[in-house]
Structure 1
Amino acid sequence: MTGGLRVEVRDRVGYVTIDRPERRNALGSDVMAGLVETFVRFDADDDVWAVLITGAGDQAFSAGRDLKELAGHDAAGGPPPSPMRQPLRNPFEVVLECRKPTVAALNGWAMGGGLELAMACDVRIAADTAKLGLPEALRGMGANFGSVMLPRLVPLGVAYDLLYSGRTIDAEEAARWGLVNRVVPLGELAATAEEYVRVLLANAPLTIRRYKAVIQSSLHQAPAAALRLDVRPDPYSSEDRVEGVRAFAEKRAPQWRAR
């Protein structure tokens, strides 16, 4: 454990737990720096094929930026927290750009920066007790990442509403707008998220990485341009493609090597 994070790799999955339950897993400076370091490492680690992130306890995924820490920073006369002008990389951007599939298990409140972190992941599975919102308008903050990502995930009018009002929504409403992929009882969340990650691991890892690269590269391009992108990795010429076809012919499960 380092910087308020518990991080481990088991069976090709990188597990990340924000471990500050006494502060509703608020994102302090140490946590954010730890997220950057962890996801940069996972991105380069050939032994990590998927990442699962959650919060400790059953109250919060993350309540967002640690405002008590920020208030102390302001009182000490520190520079304003401009999101893209800091010496360290933005953790949400690093999570978004991770080449491996990322899954967020929302075990409670996902507010402000906590929701931004969840939106940086590819798939979000929420407990039925989860609450989500971007309350930055109530605190004079900016939700820089959220204001970019939310309109890509929900209808535009809904994005305006949630950003302008700062209101909190429950997991069922979040699912209705497509902000979360699935809602399950809190007691089933960990097992459901684990089962989902194992489904990803059963599929060809290079294919999944290419899907992510294609989606991120082509989302706002015309189809004719998007279809001609030379996106890597290339599963067509991979050993895994040969293995997948052979395994089908031999009626057995494929043994992927990510090569």
Structure 2
Amino acid sequence: MTEAAIRTRRDGVILEVTLDRPKANAIDLATSREMGRVFQTFRDDPDLRVAILTGGGEKFFCPGWDLKAAAAGDAVDGDYGVGGFGGLQELRDLNKPVIAAVNGIACGGGLELALSADLILAADHARFALPEIRSGTVADAASVKLPKRIPYHIAMELLLTGRWFDAEEAQRWGLVNEIVAGDQLMDRAWELARHLAAGPPLVYAAIKEIVREAENAKFQDAMNRITKRQLATVDVLYESEDQQEGARAFAEKRDPVWKGY
């Protein structure tokens, strides 16, 4: 399917989403809304289990907001669509794994978009920055997320200076999981996606909900909600055929067959 600047490729339970807006894959309001529709469909389709997000070409993953569109009248505080900017940052109840395959420059909102994924692979030539400070604005999502992901003083340096850093530094601070040669990036992303697709989807859903709900909760409060089955995904998991299948497969010394119910 091809819709505007978004290309999708579906192979079994895996969905590849490519942001392809030459020359730099910048996101305007229409593109953001389309990305939201794509990821909403991914979230709600029971036959899809894993998504890969990447950029078209080899130079840019995404530089964030389309400043040319903004200059032409696209409001910065306009309607980004379901899921907020880029369709991922504020998409509620997305309980499936998302892999960002960063194929080039990821700066500003593009870096924030990558941070919305669960796993990040970076091409060896990828570069990153949060240059909003130089434009007299704030990297809002990064200001919320970054100090929780990496050491506080490093996060503040990146936010306050807007400096560029490479894939090796990003990995050193824990911002990316792996660095991959550029011509092997998508092969590795699909290899990882297939590995995840073979896993238990109900467990993935429970993990993602627990992580979200526990982010600002006290440990015991979070544990109480889990053990009392107050989280929907946990309640579904504990009543599922997959929960029993996992125990049976272990006892029978075989690989489990996950059904997602």
Q: Does 1:247 align with 2:249?
A: yes
Q: Is the CA contact (8 Å cut-off) linking 2:29 and 2:80 kept in structure 1?
A: no
RMSD: 1.7
Could you tell me the percent identity over the aligned residues?
36
Secondary structure of residue in 2 paired with 1:233? helix
Distance 1:95 1:8, change over 3 A: farther
* Equivalences, count: 251
Secondary structure of residue in 2 paired with 1:194? helix
Secondary structure of residue in 2 paired with 1:175? helix
Extract unaligned runs of 5+ from structure 2: none
Q: Which amino acid aligns with 2:152?
A: L
Q: Is the CA contact (8 Å cut-off) linking 2:95 and 2:204 kept in structure 1?
A: no
Provide Cα deviations, 1:16-72, integer angstroms capped at 9, x if missing partner.
Answer: 00012x222111222211111111111111011111100111111112111111111
**Separation (CA, whole Å) in 2 of partners of 1:173 and 1:209:** 31
1:197, distance to aligned residue in structure 2 (A): 1.2
Provide Cα deviations, 1:172-203, integer angstroms capped at 9, x if missing partner.
Answer: 00011111111111122111111111121121
Q: Is the CA contact (8 Å cut-off) linking 2:32 and 2:80 kept in structure 1?
A: no
For residue 58 of structure 2, what is the aligned residue in structure 1?
58
**Separation (CA, whole Å) in 1 of partners of 2:23 and 2:64:** 10
**Separation (CA, whole Å) in 1 of partners of 2:240 and 2:80:** 38
Q: Matches of residues 1-259 of structure 1 in structure 2 within 5 Å?
A: 1-20=2-21, 22-73=22-73, 80-82=75-77, 86=79, 88-89=81-82, 90=84, 91-95=87-91, 97-229=93-225, 230-234=230-234, 235-259=237-261
Distance 1:236 1:47, change over 3 A: same
Secondary structure of residue in 1 paired with 2:48? coil
Give the TM-score of the pair, scaled to structure 2.
0.91
Give the TM-score of the pair, scaled to structure 1.
0.91
Q: Is the CA contact (8 Å cut-off) linking 1:49 and 1:100 kept in structure 2?
A: yes
**Separation (CA, whole Å) in 1 of partners of 2:81 and 2:185:** 32
**Separation (CA, whole Å) in 2 of partners of 1:18 and 1:86:** 19
Secondary structure of residue in 2 paired with 1:227? helix
**Separation (CA, whole Å) in 2 of partners of 1:185 and 1:248:** 37
Secondary structure of residue in 2 paired with 1:103? strand
Distance 1:35 1:150, change over 3 A: same
Q: Which amino acid aligns with 1:114?
A: G
Q: Is the CA contact (8 Å cut-off) linking 1:65 and 1:113 kept in structure 2?
A: yes
Distance 1:106 1:203, change over 3 A: same
Q: Which amino acid aligns with 1:173?
A: E
Q: Is the CA contact (8 Å cut-off) linking 1:40 and 1:94 kept in structure 2?
A: no
Extract unaligned runs of 5+ from structure 1: none
**Separation (CA, whole Å) in 1 of partners of 2:7 and 2:88:** 18
Secondary structure of residue in 2 paired with 1:248? helix
1:96, distance to aligned residue in structure 2 (A): 7.1
